[in-house]
Amino acid sequence: MQLVAERDGKLERPLSDAFDPDDQPVLERVSHSLEGKTQKQKNPHPKGTLAFAAWVFARLGGWTGYYGKPGPIVMLRGLTKFHAIKHGWTLRDV
């Protein structure tokens, strides 16, 4: 629910409020791969914020950026996908 509350970035909470700071490089790399060509498909939030992470999870959860705002189910789907990506990221040096 913290991700849904922070999806607009109005509270300006840091990423460390809910996630490990080591997640930031993974989030930045995933965000870059999810951004499209249009302005609506680019992450508008500053890096290192919970809103930045919420945008990434929403996109991973299937939100296109064009219709409505992502809700808790979309965020959960994206968070689940992010955990799988993060697990792969940790195995990169094995």
Torsion of the alpha carbons at 39, 1, 53 and 35, rounded to the nearest 10: -30
CB burial of residue 78 (10 Å; 0-12, 13-18, 19+)? buried
Cα 90 → chain centroid: 18
Q: Is the entire prediction scored with pTM above 0.85?
A: yes
Q: What is the pLDDT of residues 4-49, one digit of tens each?
A: 888 888 888 999 888 988 889 999 999 999 988 888 889 999 999 9
Q: Angle, to 10 degrees, between the axis of helix 24-34 and the axis of helix 72-90?
A: 110
Measure Cα distances from 21 to 44, 69, 72, 78 in Å.
20, 26, 23, 19
Domain ranges for the chain, please list them. 2-90
Q: What is the pLDDT of residues 50-81, one digit of tens each?
A: 999 999 999 999 998 888 899 999 999 999 99
**CATH class given for the domain over 2-90:** mainly alpha
